[in-house]
Amino acid sequence: MATDALSLSGVHAYYGDSHVLQDVSFTLGEARMLGLLGRNGAGKSTCMNVAMGLLAPRRGAVSVFGQDVSGCSPEQIAARGVALVPQGRRIFRSLSVRENLMVAAKKPIDSKHAASHAPWTIDTVFTMFPRLAERRDQMAAHLSGGEQQMLAIGRALMGNPSVLLMDEPSEGLAPQIVAEVMATIRKLKESGLSIILVEQNPQLVFDVADDIVILNTGQVAVASNPAALKQNDAVLRQHLGVF
């Protein structure tokens, strides 16, 4: 039977009185990639925050490899093999590239769900991102946007996750750099990682994702797959704007 890597079931989440996620359910299968789409403000990052334990759902449940983690801390959820590459990178700007990676190093959890590439080390991250290797002693603040994104991904990999949550990794990057980042994401998927890729641009996700969920104003508007959605401009226009 197919295993679920991560799922949200009937999640309601709030910022103060603001009811941001309303009965959101979706499932990421093991070794699959789920593209999470939606306009700005649709609730994509909030879903990632809930999945990572940064925001507790007020109702509903989050589970990782079948175990309920609702109400667990980010550290506890990370210990179950989940890592987040946050929107806006959030690297330590005043630390060097190498230091950014070192602080995130964690041995892989002893689990049958460990991705085949694990364990990640500084050396294997540098092999994946040669440009980071060249800049290992530079301060992260001095990296280009693309290099900072690679560092953010490398830092998440240093935690040796089985589930990788990537929140708009292409944001603010030039098209050529976006293509490089997407090639990396494809390799990570091939290594057996289960991945949620959050994007505003459906074209980027359609090429790599197995499953697609579109959020609209805090609710799941569409749960489908790339082949079906590519044929359906009306749905894309309705929930994502004009293409």
Ligand X SMILES: Nc1ncnc2c1ncn2[C@@H]1O[C@H](COP(=O)(O)OP(=O)(O)O)[C@@H](O)[C@H]1O
Regarding 49 and contact with Mg ion (CB under 5 A), the answer is: no
Q: Which of ligand X, Mg ion, none does residue 22 bind (CB under 5 to 8 Å by kind)?
A: none
Instruction: Name the residue nearer to Mg ion (CB basis): 45 or 160.
Output: 45
Q: Which of Mg ion, ligand X, none does residue 68 bind (CB under 5 to 8 Å by kind)?
A: none
Instruction: Name the residue nearer to Mg ion (CB basis): 65 or 86.
Output: 86
Residue from 5, 20, 28, 165 binding ligand X (CB under 6 A): 20
Rounded (10°) CA dihedral 101, 177, 48, 15: 110
In 3-state terms, the chain is what percent helix, strand and coil (to 5)? 35, 25, 40
Alpha helices in 24-96 (DSSP H): 44-52, 74-79
Cα 96 → chain centroid: 24
Instruction: Name the residue nearer to ligand X (CB basis): 171 or 180.
Output: 171
- CB under 8 Å to 198, separation ≥6 — which residues? 36, 37, 44, 45, 47, 48, 87, 165, 166, 167, 168
Question: Could you give the string, one character per residue 22-61, with x where binding to ligand X holds by CB under 6 A and - elsewhere?
Answer: ----------------x-xxxxxxx---------------
Whole-angstrom distance, CA of residue 147 vs CA of residue 126:
12
Whole-angstrom distance, CA of residue 1 vs CA of residue 108:
24
Instruction: Name the residue nearer to ligand X (CB basis): 18 or 176.
Output: 18
Partner residues linked to 222 by β-bridges: 214
Q: Which of ligand X, Mg ion, none does residue 20 bind (CB under 5 to 8 Å by kind)?
A: ligand X
Instruction: Name the residue nearer to Mg ion (CB basis): 86 or 161.
Output: 86
> Which spans of this chain sit near Mg ion (rule: CB under 5 A)?
44-45, 87
> Which spans of this chain sit near ligand X (rule: CB under 6 A)?
15, 18, 20, 38, 40-46
